[in-house]
Every structure is written in structure tokens, then in C-alpha cells.
Structure 1
Amino acid sequence: MLFLASISREAFDEIAWPFKLQLSTENVWDVFVLLALLRDYDEHTVCLTVPHQGMQKDQFKAAMEERNECIVHIGQPEINHICDGCMRVYEVKHSDGKISHEKCQPIVSDGITLGHACCGVFRCTQPLQNNCDRFCAEHCGLHNTCAITGCDHPIRCNDVKTCDNRDHQQMEQLHYAKATSAFALSERLLCYRVAYPDDALGTEAPDVTTADLPDASVSLGPAVVEENIEWYTVKDGQVSYRFEKNPGSVGVLEEGDEGLGDIALTSSEPCNAKSDASNRKFRAQFGRQRTHNEQTAVRTLTLNGAEAVSNVLDFIKTIFSVQGAHKPEHFIYDTACDAKQQVDARGDKWWADVKMCVDLLNADGTGWWFNMSVAKQINVWLGSYHAICREMLPTKYNFFLDEMIRLHNIFTVQSLQLRALNPHPSQAEQTMELDEQAK
């Protein structure tokens, strides 16, 4: 900066300098990505090659995708980590009087919802082409279909997301009216785990009248991300809007938040899809959907390895089946009872020698050998990147989080060394000779 300040802008103009003199966000991201890629390629003694054509934002995409795939198939560099803090070697006395030594190196898993925007079709894994899209290229045609779930009528014009049904139109108006009213603040508080004084926000949402609603003939804004679970009801000619905190989202409900989010207006046209009970819930997708959660697997000191229970079981089995990884003796998870039942029902032999528990106590029951809360602690740290990565597309999103975890693991290993806990990569022959190690 001092160098730039010492040279007049006219000097750069005279030589037709092609670069800007100010550091932009794009410059910072390019440097971050390039440095991470160069480090990775240098470690593997491979030359990084990128295309010379195309847009700057796409120059490193292929290299990032390759790195992401590498992490999926071989894991983080610390996948074979072992130290005196995360592994215990203990004596076992047998009935014949002999003594052997066995090890215990548990893994703790927990999920946190950061989530990148994804295709609105359930379980579709195709990436969005643009952050403003609600659907991927394969399902792009759904942008022209009414956003109310179950309605397959076409939208009435390009600036709206509902069909000619009056109730559907009012549902869309309610959805966007909340973004321009005071109660939008209450919903955002739920999303970002911000605790405000009790008198800073009332527990009742403000009323929204017809005058508050935007004109249906104008654009209702971009495709925002659906952060909470919302639905609409039509009863006796009235359309009502409700929402509740998504249990998979970042943050928890603060006391008093449960009453937020109830607004209604009169409907002049009963919904054609209304049930005989004259009260039916409608769901809609006016904004982008997000992936459900990031699952972390942590050695019980503080190392990251990377929430239907079945998905978590597959996740753990996958990351500890890669070359060099060591299957944990204990799997610690909040819903380990459900996990155990699913494993027994599947008959998966991979889990036969893995014990499952919620808390792992000392043999005398006086305390913990291991830190059972380490996954939640790591997720607090990981959640601090929520605002940074929430608008990233999948390639950069995964690349960024993988790189931050890698750097975090490096700092953790340095801390373990200072504490004389002997961190080192585990070798196959070492784990097979525990008796010799213990002696």
C-alpha cells in the first residue's frame, strides 16, 4: 500500500497498466485458492496446470474439483492420526492369568448445518449453474411451474412464481411481505443464533394487511434461501402463513421465539385443492434449498476427519475404510441407540467390532477418558464460517471447508506436540504390536 501511495495514478495511466490498484474480494479469493492448490500440488510433486482461456472465476474450478474428489477418496492428511491423547492402551487380564494389551481410539460425530444452495428437487446432487437459480440445469424447467408444492400449473409471467390461482398468489405475496416487515428480523434472529434482550423484539409478529403486500404484477425479488420451515393454510376463505425454526439449521430457538411468525389475510377465492375438512397445509418453494448439514468425525482430542442416522453410519464407514485409516473401537453419537438398531437390522459386519455409546466413562465410573463434546466444540468453530461460505457454489464451498479443516488440523498437531502427547501418523505394524508398545 505504501508503494502504491508513493506513485501517482497518472503514472499508471501513462503506461496503460492493466490492473486495478485496489485489492478486491475476488483478488483475495483467487490468492486463497491458488495458494492452497500450490501447496497441495507441491506436496504431491505435481505441476499445477490451469487453462488460459475463459473467465477468471473458472480458472481453478477443475483443479478444485480434483482436490475435492481426492479428499473424498483418501481423506484428510490426518486420517491416520494417533497420539497419547486420543488413544488409550490398557491391560486386559484373562481367565488363564495372562495379560494382553488392547487399544481404544473412539470417534465422535455430530452434524452442523451450514449448507450451500442446492437444487430444489429432493436428493438431486447436480450443482446449480447460478446462485440465483432454484433448480439445476437438469430440472431447470421447474422454474416455470407454480412454486406451491403439488401444483403443476405454469406460472402466469416471468416475474412471479405462482400460477393463476388467487390463493397461490396470496401465498407468494405473504412470503415476500415478511421480508419487508419488522417480523423479518425475528426470523433472521433464529437463523444466526443471535440473542437479543427480551424487550428488543416482541413475541407476537406484526399483522400484515393487503396494503402491506406488494403488487402482484411486479417482481417479488430474487430467489432467497429457505432458512426455516414454512407453510400456508386455507380455511374458511382465509390464507394464513406460519413458520418454525428448521431443526437442521444453525442455531437454536431462544426462549420466547416459539410464538413468532403468524400472519393472515382474507382470501376472496377458496383454494381448489382444499380438503373436505376445509383446512389444508400448503408448502411452497419460493427460494433456494440448502443441503442439510455438514457431518464432522472427530478424534476425541480435537482433530477433524471430514443427519439421518443411516447417512451418518455410511459416512463413518466410508471415511474409515480408506487406505491408512484405522477403524475406531468406539463410535460416540447422540443417537447411538438408533444407530445400533439400524446396524443390527442391516447385519453390516463392518460394525461388528465397533462399540456404540453416547458417553464413554472411566472404568470406575468417576469421569471421562475422552472429551465427548469435542465434535460439538469443533462445530462451533466450523459454524463461524457460515457467513463466508453460505453463497458459495458446491465446488468452492467444499474446497474452502476442506482447506480450513486441513489448516486447523495442522495447528492442532502443533499444539499436541507442545503438550508432549506424541502425535504421529499410525503405521499398520504399530497397531498390530500393542503389547510391544505398552512394554
Structure 2
Amino acid sequence: MFRLKQRLERTRATQADSLGLSNTSATDDLELLVDKDGLCDGDKPETGNRHTRARFGRKRTHNEELCVASCGIILGRATFFGSEALNGVRTFLMKLFPTKASLPGVIWHDNNCKLVAMLRNDPEPHLRSYFDEVALPVDVFHFKSKHKEGDENCNANCNPALFPELTKDEGKSKTWRFNSSAAEQANAWFGGYQAIVREMQVDRYNFFVDEMIKRRNRQLLIRLEDNLHAPYFIPRHVLLKE
């Protein structure tokens, strides 16, 4: 928490300095890059940039994406085929939470800063505003270990310390209300099945993975109840109302 607050204060100081007048022209640092073929950076050759390639083996999926509640219950999963693209993450979340009423108040993700930037630049208004009422911080582990301190967009929009609702006072210190590493902990469990499912066909793979997730969720619900927590199901009509 101390490190996150330090980064947040530095970001706010930088933003305050940027509000002052500057005599620097927007084009002062403009640089033109020309490659050895005489093409400007970003130009495509007339023949295109796609090349024919032969594949002599199977093409595997890229990864599985899990959506995990802070209590550890796995809410949904999606198979990503080419890459873990941000548009795919958004599509996965919009299918899992098909109405704004069904969205949680906070969605942690290890790359939320890029997701926020993509949402703000989306030309479609309904896609741009879908997550307006949702806090989108980067989870604590990735923010302090994987994200650069000089990333102003990340520090200004996705620093967990920006959201006081995520912490609570315990004596003289603050602690997190929610476990932002629940997804990483579920991934550690989920990764144990990789050697088993690696050679499965798609139908058997989907059945096996979904069945393991359901069994884990049932066991976790029993454990939560035994520990005097109160897990509950939200009625379908509440989640799907507009």
C-alpha cells in the first residue's frame, strides 16, 4: 500500500506540472524514420505484408481466460485462440455480464490500463460506455511488479490506491477488502490440468474443464459456508434486467 501511494503521488505531481504553459511545439520532437528500402515507418509494400506459410502440425489454442470472484468462485471461462487480445477480453466480459446491471462494481485485470485506453478510443458509443460504472484497477501484484512507474496512463487510471472503497482501516494501517490475487490462485490450480488436456479433442476438452470447474466451485461453496461466510446466488432476472 505504501508503494502504491508513492506512485500515485508522483503521478499527481506530474499531472499538476503538465497544466502549466509550455513553449515547446508539438512538432519539436517529431522524427521521421526511413528503412533501408526507402519506405516510411508504417508503410506497407505493394505486395502486402502477408506471407504464405505451410503448417505441418496442429494449431493449439493460445490460452484460457478465467473470471474469478474475490471469494475464489470461478464465474466463467473463455478460450483465446490467437492471442490474449484486449478486444477478446472485453467480448468475454460482455458475454459473461450481458447487461450493465449484471456487471460487478470492480473488475481486476493484469492489463486494465490498456483496456481502459482501448475503451476510451472506441468509436462505438455503447462499447465505449459499457464499463463506465465499473472500477478497473490493475491487480496489486501485477501493478507493483509488472507495470512501469513511468506509465502515466496506468498510474492515473488503474492504480488500486485510487479507489478508497477497496481498502479498510485496521488500527493505524489499511488492508485490502478484496483478494485481488484470487484469479492468480485459481490459475495455479487450473494449470495443473494442462498435461492432462493437452492432447484432448475439443469436445472432450470442454466437458472435462467445465466439469472440473463446477466440482471446484461446489467444494469451495461448502468450505465458505463452513467458515461462516454467506455465499449466495443472484437471481437470473436481476442480472439480466436492463
Q: Answer whether TM exceeds 0.5 for this pair.
A: yes
Q: Unaligned regions of 5+ residues in structure 2, if any?
A: 1-49, 77-83, 141-159, 161-165
For each residue in 1:153-182, what CA deviation from the matched residue of structure 2 results, as whole angstroms up to 9, or x when unmatched?
Answer: xxxxxxxxxxxxxxxxxxxxxxxxxxxxxx
Aligned-residue identity in percent: 33
Contact 2:224/2:231 (8 A) holds in 1: yes
Aligned counterparts of 2:238 and 2:61: Cα–Cα separation in 1: 40
Residues 329, 414 of structure 1: alpha-carbon distance in 2 compared, 3 angstrom cutoff: same
User: Do structure 1's residue 398 and structure 2's residue 206 form an aligned pair?
Assistant: yes
Aligned counterparts of 2:193 and 2:175: Cα–Cα separation in 1: 33
User: Do structure 1's residue 290 and structure 2's residue 60 form an aligned pair?
Assistant: yes
Which residue is 1:330 aligned to?
106
Which residue is 2:86 aligned to?
309
Contact 2:168/2:176 (8 A) holds in 1: no
Which residue is 1:351 aligned to?
131
User: Do structure 1's residue 417 and structure 2's residue 187 form an aligned pair?
Assistant: no
Max radius of gyration: which structure?
1
For 2:167, the aligned partner's letter is N
Which residue is 1:375 aligned to?
183
Higher fraction of helix: 2
Residues 366, 284 of structure 1: alpha-carbon distance in 2 compared, 3 angstrom cutoff: farther
Aligned counterparts of 2:231 and 2:193: Cα–Cα separation in 1: 27
Aligned counterparts of 1:417 and 1:367: Cα–Cα separation in 2: 23
Aligned counterparts of 1:394 and 1:302: Cα–Cα separation in 2: 26
Residues 310, 429 of structure 1: alpha-carbon distance in 2 compared, 3 angstrom cutoff: closer
* Structure-to-structure mapping, 1:21-36, within 5 angstroms: none
Q: Give the deviation of 1:387 after TM superposition.
A: 1.1
Taking structure 2 as the reference length, what is the TM-score of the superposition? 0.56
Where has structure 1 moved over 6 Å in runs of 4 or more? 428-431
Aligned counterparts of 1:284 and 1:427: Cα–Cα separation in 2: 50
Aligned counterparts of 2:237 and 2:89: Cα–Cα separation in 1: 29
Contact 2:73/2:217 (8 A) holds in 1: yes
For each residue in 1:358-384, what CA deviation from the matched residue of structure 2 results, as whole angstroms up to 9, or x when unmatched?
Answer: 144415672211111111110111111
Residues 430, 316 of structure 1: alpha-carbon distance in 2 compared, 3 angstrom cutoff: closer
Q: Give the deviation of 1:424 after TM superposition.
A: 1.5
Q: How many pairs are equivalent?
A: 150
Higher fraction of strand: 1
For each residue in 1:278-297, what CA deviation from the matched residue of structure 2 results, as whole angstroms up to 9, or x when unmatched?
Answer: xxxxx763322111110000
Contact 2:102/2:238 (8 A) holds in 1: no
User: Do structure 1's residue 362 and structure 2's residue 167 form an aligned pair?
Assistant: yes
Q: Give the deviation of 1:317 after TM superposition.
A: 1.1
Residues 317, 430 of structure 1: alpha-carbon distance in 2 compared, 3 angstrom cutoff: closer
Q: Unaligned regions of 5+ residues in structure 1, if any?
A: 1-148, 152-282, 432-439
* RMSD of aligned Cα (Å): 2.5
Aligned counterparts of 1:305 and 1:316: Cα–Cα separation in 2: 10
* Structure-to-structure mapping, 1:129-168, within 5 angstroms: 150-151=51-52
Aligned counterparts of 1:429 and 1:396: Cα–Cα separation in 2: 32
